[in-house]
Amino acid sequence: MKVVVAMDAFKGTITSVPAGKAVREGILNAMPDADVKVFPLADGGEGTTIALVRGMGGTLEEVTVTGPVGDPIQTTYGIIPESKTAVIEMAAAAGLSKMDRDQRNPLYTTTYGVGELILEAIGKGCKRILIGLGGSATNDGGIGMLQALGFGFLDENGKQVPLGAQGLRELKSIDTDHVIDSVYDTEFIIMSNVSNPLLGLDGCSAVYGPKKGASLDLIKKMDQWLLNYVVLTKQHFPDADPYADGAGAAGGMGFALLNYLYGKMERGVSIVMHETGMEKAVKHADIVVTGEGRLDTKTIKGKASAGVSELAKKYKKPCIAFAGAVAGDAKVLNQHGIDAYFPILRRVVSLGEAMDFMTTKSNLTNTAEQVFRLIGAIK
């Protein structure tokens, strides 16, 4: 039997590849002769760099860049030498995970370090950059990133505006004359599972501002500042659309990448599946296994495991899923490509014990073994 395993991370517990290997161990316990291929899985957010680097034979580069609150931080990005491709998570330089909770305030948090990561990758010879937009701490419309690349976002005195959304407040004009030439020689592929526009009730300020530390008053102001940003942007890029799908991703970085860097927006999990060769393996598989920490109706709205189930159905392959927890509304997944799902908890435990790495690993292995023993018995 040929089995493809592509597990999403169980957040805070186990990452994609270890989860996949745990499932593989259980399958082989039940079917020692099975051909089990484990693929990394991510959707453009946390874990995407590791997933693609491991899946594509790349390397991790450690660098120092400007963090979300303006202090230097150590972080990493990936390089795939064969295709001159870099893999960057914007959250690696400008994410909520890179700051303390009491530092959350999009008025001051910046994407400048993301631009520095891009320059580092270009300096290493990369001609293609895959950039994931999940987990941002910012709402600066991506201008910090663009400033690092040589774009001028200028105040009334013709000086660069300050970092963070406060820079949008001071913005009076935009200068594109001093952009680093190699930036325009680079292809940008945007990985996102967010379709929010830049502005309005569904825009980045209103929807994601609160978890980034924005008050209701600041949210309203930021939306107005972003509107001014759009007006000024259109002077240079007339086709700029603040309501394009994903323009509001990562606090408006989607808008910056789409228009200033001519990026192409794609579903993050689709890129991961394509780049790692998962689709070819699924085409020739007998069964596909996926899963995540919690299965519920949100799973079908852009999560990585839903991408796997869609791929399985493209090739008419059965797909099963394992999860740490299964919500009461998860039955809808049976209508969206997941033929059967299984919670892995084996007894009543505390949340802390359930999220323990070794417990989760063991539960995945044991559950996979029993499910595939059943499959073997039926066959």
Tokens of 297: 């109706």
Nearest to 174 by CA among 149, 204, 210: 149
One domain, residues 234 and 179: yes
Give residue 296's pLDDT band: very low, low, confident or very high (50, 70, 90).
confident
Q: Which two tokens stand for residue 142?
A: 């991506």
On whether both 56 and 82 belong to a single domain, the answer is: yes
Alpha carbons 38 and 96: distance in angstroms, whole number:
30
Q: What is the CATH number of the domain that holds 325?
A: 3.40.50.10350
For the chain, the straight-line distance linking the first and the last C-alpha, in angstroms and rounded, comes to 10
Are 70 and 211 in a shared domain? Answer: yes
Whether the CB-CB separation of 329 and 297 falls below 8 Å is answered with yes
Same-domain status, 161 and 107: yes
Point out the least confidently predicted range of 7-11, 34-38, 363-367: 7-11
203, 237, 269 - which closes a domain: 269
Return the pLDDT at 336.
87
218 and 83, same structural domain? yes
pLDDT at 355 over 90: no
354 vs 150, higher pLDDT: 150
What is the pLDDT, as a whole number, of residue 58? 92
354 or 146, greater pLDDT: 146
Same structural domain, 248 and 313: no
Average pLDDT over residues 217-245: 97
At residue 331 the predicted structure's pLDDT band, cuts being 50, 70 and 90, is: confident
pLDDT number for residue 351:
85
Percent of the chain with pLDDT over 70: 99
Same domain, 21 and 54: no
- Position 353 scores a pLDDT of 86
Based on the domain organization, do 30 and 154 belong to the same domain? no
Specify the pTM: 0.84
Q: What are 297-318's pLDDT values in tens digits? A: 777 766 788 899 999 999 999 9
Same domain membership, residue 313 and residue 181: no
Sheet holding 2-7, edge to edge: 35-38, 2-7, 287-295, 319-326, 340-343
Which CATH number belongs to the domain containing residue 222 in this structure? Answer: 3.90.1510.10
Give residue-wise pLDDT tens across range 175-189. Answer: 999 999 999 999 999
Which of 42-46, 145-149, 284-288, 336-340 is predicted least confidently?
42-46
Overall average pLDDT of the 207-222 stretch: 96
**Residue 68 confidence (pLDDT):** 97
26 vs 18, 164, 233, 275, CA distance in Å?
13, 48, 54, 27
107, 217 Cβ separation under 8 angstroms: no
Q: Is the pLDDT of residue 52 over 90?
A: no
What is the number of structural domains in the chain?
2
Check residue 44 and give its pLDDT.
Answer: 78
Higher pLDDT, 329 or 66: 66
| pLDDT at residue 50 greater than cutoff 70 | yes
Please check whether residues 187 and 230 belong to one and the same domain: yes
Read off the pLDDT band of 329 (50, 70, 90). confident
Which of 242, 269, 296 is the endpoint of a domain?
269
Show the beta-strand stretches assigned E in the chain: 2-7, 35-38, 59-66, 72-80, 85-89, 128-132, 152-154, 173-175, 187-192, 264-267, 287-295, 319-326, 340-343
Same structural domain, 254 and 285: no
**What Rg value do the Cα atoms of the chain yield, rounded?**
22
Print the domain residue range for 347. 2-39+278-378
Question: Given this model, what pLDDT does residue 302 score?
Answer: 67
Of the three residues 269, 294, 328, the one that is the final residue of a domain is 269
Identify which has the larger pLDDT, 314 or 267. Answer: 314
Phi and psi at residue 288, to the nearest 5°: -120, 135
Q: Specify whether 264 is located in the same domain as 289.
A: no
Greatest mean pLDDT range, 223-237, 301-315, 354-368: 223-237
